[in-house]
Amino acid sequence: MQPYIFPYIGYFQLIKAVETFVFYDDVNFIKRGWINRNNLLINMEKKMFTIPCKSISQNKKINKTIVDYDSFRVEKLLSSINHSYSNSPQFNSVYPLLESFFKNTRALKISELAIESVKLVSKYLELNTKFVISSEQFSDTMHFHKEERLIEISKSLNASHYINPIGGLELYYKSNFLDNNIKLSFLKSKDISYKQFDNEFVPWLSIIDVLMFNSRSLILQMLDEYKLV
């Protein structure tokens, strides 16, 4: 998966479902995607936060895209999170982690910042998945085209089973993976809901929202709420 900044819970379902998770950081940046932005529950409504980056281009790799700290209003973002979630049941456990993360990060590139955010949450949830970064370990597969590269990476890891988000259902073919002795499955999240104060539930926000309202044990149960197709 491309590295996303504090992604939605389905991203972490995928992490929990596998033994090795590959951050696909040396592919093109996707404008208006989830690499540098996500949604939070701000003033009881879904509102997007964005990490500003310099010279965003879909012709530039994610791991070549630089965070624009001159435009990044860290205190404003933290203040918004504080104001919106201060009465949530897990605030005292989660907010200090976010505050330390945003104030102390030294990540230069958006790929690094996003990967750090995913690893932070994974550590908090005590997930034991191994993380690998494609640009560091699989640069020799860059000449392969899309699906072929995924197969080559899987073979390099001696993987017998490759799991992709459900969005890949129309992009990749199980037969092509089977030709290489690899099973291909797609992870489809079930409907997940939880109590957000006394409001009507707003689904599929950043994992930050999930962390604020739910205990570790409950989140771990949610991470198993999917099926492989």
Share of the chain above pLDDT 90, in %: 95
Residues 105 and 113 sit within 8 Å (Cβ to Cβ): yes
pTM of the model as a whole: 0.96
The answer to whether position 215 is within a domain reads yes
DSSP-assigned letters across all residues of 125-164: TT---EEEEHHHH-GGGTTS-HHHHHHHHHHHTT-SEEEE
Could you tell me if residue 1 is inside a domain?
no
Is there a domain that residue 135 lies in? Answer: yes
Tally the domains of the chain: 1
Give me the pLDDT at residue 52, please. Answer: 96
pLDDT digit string, tens, across residues 176-210: 999 999 999 999 999 999 999 998 999 999 999 99
CA distance 225 to 10: 9
Task: Give per-residue pLDDT as tens, 167-179.
Answer: 999 999 999 999 9
Domain with 70 in it: 9-228
Q: What is the pLDDT of residues 98-111, one digit of tens each?
A: 999 999 998 999 99
